[in-house]
Amino acid sequence: MRILSADPLADRAFTLELDTAIGQRAAARVRAAGDALGVALADAALPGVQEITRSFTTVTVHYDPLEASQADLLHQAETLLSGIEADAVSPGRLWRFPCCYAAEFALDLDTLSQHLNLSGAEIIAQHAATEFGVYAIGFLPGLPFMGDLPPGLSLPRRSSPRPTVPAGSVAIAGGLCVIYPWDSPGGWHILGRCPVPLFDPARPHPALLQAGDRVRFADVSTDEYARLRTGYEDGSLSAEILLEQEPTA
């Protein structure tokens, strides 16, 4: 795999650019590079490296300048990545998340319907039929940026963001889909709500999802949503049961 550019964040980190546009090709490259670097980090083959993070088209290597030099690490990363190909990556874990598209949760479905020139039912059907790839976790702890939306569902963000988007809101904009793990301000179009806890500090790995995972949504009723939500809150349900498929070896 070719590194398009390598740019320093001073003596703390450096970012490797692997593609120029958000999409599945970039996601595959980021995943292949992130996995390879992550394995090397876990095997202590990259002394001085503290963490590897991924975004849509880049991976960033965080390091301790007292233990390694960026020039050496960059050379190691180039050597490592030159030996791997993006198409060799196996599919990530597949999750099936319940999503309630009822009017009380789908705050922007009417607006979406007008802008996209589709009925609410068609939007929901298309959304629920899409297998999303988790391109990056960020912005908020545990928040997944997922793509790609079907082209017919792509539109810019709301002109004025909401001061508070309820936790669990499933929202779309710019060809991507997110689930807000927390109440937060936000400008994406909300089309449903998902009761799955995406971030739990009590878990060894608090974020449920990781970059490279796949997510499908299943339409559930408001009653089912309420039942699931109660279950997750009182601990009688575990989010792990939503895992439909482990990565193939």
- Per rule CB under 8 A, is residue 157 in the interface with other proteins? yes
Q: How far is the CB of 57 from other proteins (least distance, A)?
A: 5
Please give the structure tokens belonging to residue 167: 């936790």
Residue in the block written with tokens 């508070």: 164
Closer to other proteins by CB, 11 or 223: give it: 11
CB 1 within 8 A of CB 32: yes
Closer to other proteins by CB, 119 or 185: give it: 185
Q: How far is the CB of 21 from other proteins (least distance, A)?
A: 8
CB 233 within 8 A of CB 168: no
- One-letter amino acid for residue 21 of the chain: A
Closer to other proteins by CB, 138 or 247: give it: 138
Of residues 186 through 245, those in contact with other proteins by CB under 8 A are 186-187, 199, 201, 205-207, 210-211
Q: How far is the CB of 79 from other proteins (least distance, A)?
A: 19
Of residues 72 through 131, those in contact with other proteins by CB under 8 A are none
Length of the chain: 249
Name which position in 138, 166, 175, 247 contacts other proteins (CB under 8 A): 138
Q: Which of 222, 219, 241 is nearest to 230 (CA)?
A: 222
Of residues 162 through 191, those in contact with other proteins by CB under 8 A are 182, 184-187
DSSP secondary structure code for residue 203 in this structure: S
CB 221 within 8 A of CB 202: no
Annotate each residue in 27-56 with x if it binds other proteins (CB under 8 A) or - if it does not, as one string. Answer: -----------------------xxxxxxx
Determine the 3-state secondary structure of 2 from DSSP. coil
Q: Residue 207: beta bridge partners?
A: 199
From residue 118, give the alpha-carbon distance in Å to each of 17, 152, 155, 234.
37, 9, 13, 38
Name which position in 65, 150, 152, 231 contacts other proteins (CB under 8 A): 65
Applying CB under 8 A, the residues found at the interface with other proteins are 7-13, 15, 17, 21-22, 50-60, 62, 65-66, 69-71, 136-143, 157-158, 161, 182, 184-187, 199, 201, 205-207, 210-211
